[in-house]
A = this chain, B = another copy of it.
Amino acid sequence: MVDRLYSIGEVSKLMNISIKALRHYDKIDLFKPTYIDPNTNYRYYDDSQLYLLDLIKSFKYIGIPLKEMKKVQELKADDLLVFLTEQEKFVKQKIDNLLQIEQTIASAKKGLQRIKEYPALEEVFFSDEEETQIIQTKADGINPTNILTASFQKLKRMTASTEGFRYNDYGAIFAYRPYTDIEEVSYKYLYTPVLTKKDTLELSQDTEIATIPQGKYLCIAFNSLTEQDYFTNLKRLLDYAEAHQLTVISDIFESLVNLHYSSNREKGVLLEMRMRVAE
């Protein structure tokens, strides 16, 4: 109910806004001083106008460009409510996207961590695996001798979060059987892990959600993509299970991991096969 004048320095301190910003607000007619001393050119502000800076600061905080703020200033309560509801939706969407990014980064980290802790290559080992949700599609004649990177791209393109942090997520499933030649191996499914809930909500016709169960797995990993190495290592896995009289209770899950993404270095891959065994 009283009023008083503040210098630009006082307003800056009171409102925690830089003098430079206040000068700029004056220049673009967003927040103008009540009085300018004609001799010194100093700006003076009214106490009762300070509340205007609250809105400017608030909208700056939620990311409204200064240009738009002049329009927002003029809004009456009803329209401001509509405007805020739009902003709220926009913020919720951004949060949603970031939560997905967070999930996908976590999954990528988990994959890298796994590589770091890998046991010796070309040797059979046991691993306790958590349950993994996957999106799978029928392999339709694809097998280890004709599979392409592109084969997986088609699958990935079908999933909603293609645009997510989806790499190193190449997988194929084939039956557990006493193979005697690589030509006998035929994939049943190609798969890619579910990264976010969104993946499962927007499935295309040819894909379905499946689960790689939690349990004890017999595994082998190797650093090669030749057909010979492929079969040698598959044979090691099968022979180990037979020699140790293990009961295999799943298909064989194969996954391909790219060890680095440098186009200047030799391609480094890790191919892993695993199958669940009775405990």
- Residues of B contacting A144 in the complex (Cβ-Cβ under 8 angstroms): 1
CB of B147 within 8 A of CB of A1, answer yes
- Residues of B contacting A262 in the complex (Cβ-Cβ under 8 angstroms): 73-74
Contact A1/B225 with A157-B14, A163-B61 known, Cβ cut-off 8 Å: yes
List A residues 2-24 near B (Cβ within 8 Å).
2-4, 6, 14-16
CB pairs A–B below 8 angstroms (22 shown)? A1-B145, A1-B147, A1-B230, A2-B146, A6-B150, A15-B157, A48-B149, A48-B267, A51-B170, A51-B261, A52-B261, A54-B166, A54-B258, A55-B167, A61-B163, A62-B101, A77-B112, A80-B112, A81-B112, A81-B116, A84-B105, A91-B102
Q: Shortest beta-carbon distance, A201 to chain B, in Å?
A: 18
List A residues 72-86 near B (Cβ within 8 Å).
72-78, 80-81, 84-85
Binding site for B on A (CB under 8 A): 1-4, 6, 14-16, 31-32, 47-52, 54-55, 57-59, 61-63, 72-78, 80-81, 84-85, 87-88, 91-92, 94-95, 98-99, 101-102, 104-106, 108-109, 112-113, 115-116, 144-150, 153-154, 157, 162-168, 170, 225-227, 230, 258-264, 267
CB of B263 within 8 A of CB of A52, answer yes
Contact A145/B2 with A150-B14, A153-B14 known, Cβ cut-off 8 Å: yes
Give Cα A144–Cα B61 distance, bound, in whole angstroms: 31
Cβ-closest 3 pairs across A and B: A54-B167, A55-B261, A58-B165
Interface SS, A side:
helix
